[in-house]
Amino acid sequence: MKVLVAVKRVVDFNVKIRVKSDATGVEAANVKMSMNPFDEIAVEEGVRMRENGSADELIAVSLGTVASQETIRTALAMGADRGILVETDLGLEPLAIAKCLAAIAAKENPDLIILGKQAIDGDNNQTGQMLAALLGWGQGTFASNISLADGPGENKAEVVREVDGGLETVSLKLPCVVTTDLRLNEPRYASLPNIMKAKKKTIDVMTPEDLGVDVSPRTEILKIEEPSGREAGTIVADAAELVEKLHSEAKVI
Amino acid sequence: MSALVIAEHDNAALKPATLNTVTAGLELGDVTVLVAGSGCKAVAEAAAKVAGVAKVLLADDAIFEHPLAENLAPFIVGLADDFGGFDHILAPATTLGKNLMPRLAALLDVQQISEISGIEGADTFVRPIYAGNAMATVKSNDKIKVLTVRITAFEPAMAEGGSAGIEEISGAEDKGIAAFVSQQLTKSERPELTSAGIVISGGRGMQSGDNFHLLEKIADKLGAAVGASRAAVDAGFVSNDYQVGQTGKVVAPDLYIAVGISGAIQHLAGMKDSKVIVAINKDEDAPIFQVADYGLVQDLFEALPQLSAELDKLS
């Protein structure tokens, strides 16, 4: 079975982002960048399938500037076999990303594509679902468990999904798309020998045009601003004062 | 302008998130509500009574017993063709809407706008990015706007007062690529996290899942829902459906009590629109105190029993 994972280079989750003073975006110069945390979970899941024999090839794909090669190298160091970079300086929207990934899927014919459920920069939570739609495949979104039944006459994945009220299990015909939620696994750190080995693995570079995809934007960002803040209130001495304030001052209990 | 709102329900009752989504829809134009389910006529009748709703479309079919995006999204595409003229299609940004709407948007060749928290015009919307640390104003140039709605940002429409007509529609098709197997819903006597008036949440400071009973005891006295930070979920104290934050649920109750929660950005993104915030933490430097209206610097294992006793005195 061939597995494809999509990885995005984003501002590291520990960085407190700053909105640019001219309201055009978020300060990205000299900021630590990392693989989107949900995508790390996707890579880990693929690597585990590779290790337990259910997958024989794992391909990591990223879309973005040449710097996204670093993110692919991280996936290769974790255990992916090879990488594909769709290189562009444009900030791509989820629909455009999904179209590029669909074009890659048409060439590579994977049995399973795993993506993070959302990237922590745009917080869109769209790409996996859009990709599944474009390919006409089933979608197991917000997965906390994936079990494969990949045998003769039984090509399916059972995916446990994190839904608002609890958990839901769906059965999907392969090939399918899965997006990861937090509890699917705990991603590993790449070891130094594996980081060295990853340097020798191949990354194919192509452009959206090579894939025949029109990535022109459908939306315009008019401005990006700081959210309205909250001010710190008062410190109370004990539970008695807290209850008194909530009752007679805030009137919420 | 006309808007189609996808109703969220369990085939028996309309979920409150639908009411907030109707409010967003009414800011954009006439609202038609789609109720797709199985044996869900009562839901359609409830939707018809919602104040401001112009029309209800009822698609009652066994295929829709569970709202699989694989079957529902193409059905909605068909509707958009048949009924024409929907300028906006909205769903709540719940796990239903988040799963369904991007699939619908891609089939319509539309770039969806996720989790809108404000409407500036027919094509311009405000939405949080970077875990709510920035707000983006986005203009859509697509013909149809596909939107998910951050429900805490819109007041619920009145559940009574409307008298919309119900039109039954058909055409459901099982695409045969996905099937529902089972669900394990968390059973709770307490209110739902996203619609509760009071929420009390625990973080890593709770030290174990067993200690959550301290929160539950207080929740029951206040009629509150119980939530958790991502750290508490990651540590395995409680299941993910308790999670409040950027990667979990977004809540905006009248009162939010954060216990043993440091106040990571990702948690604040899920609760900072609460009307009153209380923080209980033994670390006086915890960032949570910077957003709290009332802070109590005390070990939670001392503070919670005292809080519980004080609440008893009140009643």
Q: Could you report the per-residue pLDDT of A39-89, keeping only the tens digit for each?
A: 999 999 999 999 999 999 999 999 999 999 999 999 999 999 999 999 999
In this complex, how many residue pairs, one in chain A and one in chain B, have their CB atoms less than 8 Å apart? Answer: 262
Max distance between CA atoms of chain B, in angstroms, equals: 62
Express as a percent the part of chain B with pLDDT over 90: 90
Q: How confident is the model at residue A93 (pLDDT cuts 50, 70, 90)?
A: very high
Cis bond upstream, residue B128 (ω within 30): no
Average pLDDT over residues B23-43: 98
Cα B182 to Cα A166, A170, A175, A231, distances in angstroms: 11, 7, 21, 45
Distance from CA of B289 to the nearest CA of A (A): 6
Q: How confident is the model at residue B36 (pLDDT cuts 50, 70, 90)?
A: very high
Interhelix angle B212-222/B300-314, nearest 10 degrees: 20
Q: How confident is the model at residue A151 (pLDDT cuts 50, 70, 90)?
A: low
Q: Which of residues 48-77 of A touch B (CB under 8 A)?
A: none
**A128, part of any domain:** yes
**A234, part of any domain:** no
pLDDT in tens, B126-151: 999 998 889 999 999 999 999 999 99
pLDDT in tens, A17-28: 999 999 999 998
**A122, part of any domain:** yes
Site from B109, B112, B123, B283 to mutate, A interface, most A CB atoms within 10 angstroms? B112
Q: Is the pLDDT of residue A4 over 80?
A: yes
Q: What is the rounded CA–CA span in Å between residue B88 and residue B144?
A: 6
- What range defines the domain where residue A111 resides? 2-225
Question: Helix count (H) and strand count (E) of chain B?
Answer: 8, 16
Are the beta carbons of A127 and A38 closer than 8 angstroms? no
Number of domains in chain A: 1
Are the beta carbons of B98 and B113 closer than 8 angstroms? no
pLDDT in tens, A52-63: 999 999 999 999
Average pLDDT over residues B21-39: 98
The predicted pLDDT at position A230 comes to 86
Strand residues in chain A grouped as ranges (E): 2-6, 9-11, 33-35, 57-64, 82-87, 112-116, 138-151, 154-163, 166-173, 176-180, 203-206, 219-225, 234-236
Cα A89 to Cα A35, A63, B278, distances in angstroms: 18, 9, 44
Among candidates A19, A127, A164 on the partner chain, residue whose Cβ is nearest the Cβ of B95: A164
**A248, part of any domain:** no
CATH no. for residue A135? 3.40.50.620
Mean predicted lDDT score pLDDT of chain A = 95
Q: What chain B residue is nearest to A215 in terms of C-alpha separation?
A: B111
User: Backbone phi, then psi, for B198, in 5-degree steps?
Assistant: -130, 135
Side chain identity at B80, as an amino acid letter?
Answer: A
Among candidates A167, A233, A245 on the partner chain, residue whose Cβ is nearest the Cβ of B184: A167
Are the beta carbons of A130 and B106 closer than 8 angstroms? yes
Q: Quick check: B182 and A240 CB within 8 A?
A: no
Which residues partner with A4 through β-bridges?
A: A59, A113
Among candidates B113, B265, B276 on the partner chain, residue whose Cβ is nearest the Cβ of A250: B276
Q: Which helix (H) or strand (E) holds B182?
A: strand B178-185
* B136: exposed, middle or buried (Cβ count in 10 Å: 0-12, 13-18, 19+): buried
- β-strands B145-149, B113-116 pairing: parallel
What's the predicted TM-score (pTM) here? 0.94
Q: Which of residues 143-172 of A touch B (CB under 8 A)?
A: 144, 158, 161-172
The reply to whether B114 touches chain A by the CB within 8 Å rule is yes
**A144, part of any domain:** yes
Q: What chain A residue is nearest to B294 in terms of C-alpha separation?
A: A234
**A250, part of any domain:** no
* B303: exposed, middle or buried (Cβ count in 10 Å: 0-12, 13-18, 19+): buried
**A203, part of any domain:** yes
**A28, part of any domain:** yes
The predicted pLDDT at position A152 comes to 65
Q: Is the pLDDT of residue B224 over 80?
A: yes
Are the beta carbons of B17 and B5 closer than 8 angstroms? no
Average pLDDT over residues A213-239: 94
pLDDT in tens, B94-105: 999 999 999 999
pLDDT in tens, B257-314: 999 999 998 899 899 999 999 999 999 999 999 999 999 999 999 999 999 999 999 8
Q: What is the rounded CA–CA span in Å between residue B201 and residue B216?
A: 10
Q: Quick check: B289 and A232 CB within 8 A?
A: yes
Average pLDDT over residues A155-173: 95
